[in-house]
Chain A
Amino acid sequence: MIGLLIKDLFALKKQWRVLSVITIIYFVFSVASENLGMFSTVSIMYAVILPVTAMAYDEQCRWDKYALSMPLSRSKIVLSKYLLGILLNLGVCILVCLANLVFVYFWDYDLKDVMATAVGISGAGLVILAVMLPILYQFGVEKARLIMVIIFLAPSLLIIMLPNFELTPSPELLSMLPYVLPLLIVGMLLLSIFVSIRIYQRKEF
């Protein structure tokens, strides 16, 4: 499985360079405008876009057909993509933390808030991953892209419209969230892995 993970990292070689440049640009931009929001949002995109790109490369060179001729089980092939996604999200979490430390240092930001932001962002990344991968396995990258736009548009609209409904969550609910959300995300990931493996077992290449 580590071999598969390394393979994806190699395959994404070109993306790393492009992303490092973008990261630096956004960081400078954020520092200049004294607002890290933009930087954080962009960094989560990496964690979402890179696994999709890795799968697009796989499709392009029909990697799966080849991988299945090697001593690799179908579930290992699926798990390696989740591992890639989880590690990328971890990377993003660390990156956002580091970037925020600059703000803590210069502008007196609260460290606790900063950590919460970074963890929150990775959490969101993991949720997206959990929803995204089964769709990618079922429909292939080309179709899945379109489906994902639709799927993610709906909750985004809902969130934008939320203030209009005057639904303010109770303080008790909010205080429980830090404990409930991680469990929820882990649950989602496990379910997602299970579904993806089921889909992949049936697939033919």
Chain B
Amino acid sequence: MSNVLEIKNLTKYYDGFTLDNISLALPQGSIMGFIGENGAGKSTTIKLILNVIHRDRGEVKIFGRDNLIYDSELKQSVGVVYDESNFPESMTPKNINVILRRIYRNWDQQAFFRYLDQFALPADKELKTFSRGMKMKLSIAVALSHQAKLLILDEPTSGLDPVVRDEILDIFLDFIQNEEHSIFLSTHITSDIEKIADYIAFIHQGKIVFVAEKDELLNQYGVLKCGFDDFEKLDRRFVKGFRKNRFGVEALVEKQRFKGHVIDAATIEDIMLFTLRGEKQ
């Protein structure tokens, strides 16, 4: 299986923030969730992938080709959705169709209007009358209407209600049915990732904490609850992080190492929170 997106040692310096040696790879046909708190470097990474900002070091390959050299060529096959609509408010979806027909070589007008229909978006209304959810759906319709093979999505579900979010996730799952299609999705809503992602890349303070298969991650880790005395007896090498409360201790542990204990399934959120905020050792 080849990688549709490969990032190596990507680095960008800002005053007070460094995106530090990011490396990851997204295999074709899969969805990678890119998680981390606000300001962790998710948007910076995505902007670097798209050459919206300039890197200081490192390399990015899309479909195996350098993203600086083949910039425009590669973007014909990449669909992008940011966390907001970027079309002027006075435009209508019909206007957008007229414009993008001249920008994307493979613009599929029929597909675009079909998506508008499917998402219940009026083709003749100006965008200023659209709700946030409608605008996001419009951006997604655009990203899906030029035969993109890779979707790069920067917090596409943030600020949306659970129903719309679920609808949008279904659209992504539908897109991925084609084996040639892949999705790179950044979000801080970990439950979304849990629903659809195959891989998870976790970024914290500009550094990658881990890149792993989601199922492996969820199989590997669990949340162990026990009293203070029992906790002292645990082999700390396999405790990723813990939290003490009035009644005892909750710890994120490698499940296989603690057979015989009561261990709850860990969520992605648990893994994220224990790794970042839990006490160590």
Q: Is the interface of B mostly helix, strand, loop or mixed?
A: loop
**Any A CB within 8 A of the CB of B102:** yes
User: A71–B105 contact, CB under 8 A?
Assistant: yes
Complex: A57 Cα to B76 Cα, angstroms: 25
Total contacts A to B, CB within 8 angstroms? 86
Q: Which residues of A contact B105 (CB under 8 A)?
A: 71
Q: How large is the interface on A (under 10, 10 to 19, 20 to 34, 35 or more residues)?
A: 20 to 34
Q: Which residues of A contact B163 (CB under 8 A)?
A: none
For residues 1 through 53 of chain A, which have their beta carbon under 8 Å from a beta carbon of chain B? 2-4, 6-7, 10-11, 13-14
Q: Which residues of B contact A4 (CB under 8 A)?
A: 99, 103
**Any A CB within 8 A of the CB of B104:** yes
Given known A71-B76, A71-B104, contact A204–B54 (CB-CB < 8 A): yes
User: A60–B88 contact, CB under 8 A?
Assistant: yes
Complex: A185 Cα to B108 Cα, angstroms: 41
For residues 66 through 117 of chain B, which have their beta carbon under 8 Å from a beta carbon of chain A? 71-73, 75-76, 78, 80, 82, 84-91, 95, 98-105
**Any A CB within 8 A of the CB of B1:** no
User: A70–B103 contact, CB under 8 A?
Assistant: yes
**Any A CB within 8 A of the CB of B50:** yes
**Any A CB within 8 A of the CB of B53:** yes
User: A65–B75 contact, CB under 8 A?
Assistant: no
User: A205–B99 contact, CB under 8 A?
Assistant: no
User: A10–B88 contact, CB under 8 A?
Assistant: yes
User: B50–A69 contact, CB under 8 A?
Assistant: yes
**Any A CB within 8 A of the CB of B256:** no
User: B95–A68 contact, CB under 8 A?
Assistant: no
User: A66–B95 contact, CB under 8 A?
Assistant: no
User: B86–A66 contact, CB under 8 A?
Assistant: yes
Complex: A142 Cα to B201 Cα, angstroms: 39
User: B99–A69 contact, CB under 8 A?
Assistant: no
User: A66–B90 contact, CB under 8 A?
Assistant: no
User: A61–B75 contact, CB under 8 A?
Assistant: no
**Any A CB within 8 A of the CB of B51:** yes
Q: Which residues of A contact B152 (CB under 8 A)?
A: 69
Given known A6-B99, A7-B99, contact A61–B88 (CB-CB < 8 A): yes
**Any A CB within 8 A of the CB of B47:** yes
Using CB atoms, name the residue of chain B closest to A205. B52
User: B104–A61 contact, CB under 8 A?
Assistant: no
Q: Which residues of A contact B47 (CB under 8 A)?
A: 65, 204-205
Given known A3-B102, A73-B71, contact A62–B90 (CB-CB < 8 A): no
**Any B CB within 8 A of the CB of A72:** yes
User: B91–A68 contact, CB under 8 A?
Assistant: no
Q: Which residues of A contact B95 (CB under 8 A)?
A: 10
Closest 7 CB pairs of A and B: A3-B102, A66-B86, A69-B80, A11-B88, A204-B53, A3-B103, A71-B72
Known: A66-B86, A69-B75. 6 other contacts (CB 8 A): A3-B103, A58-B88, A61-B86, A65-B86, A70-B100, A71-B72
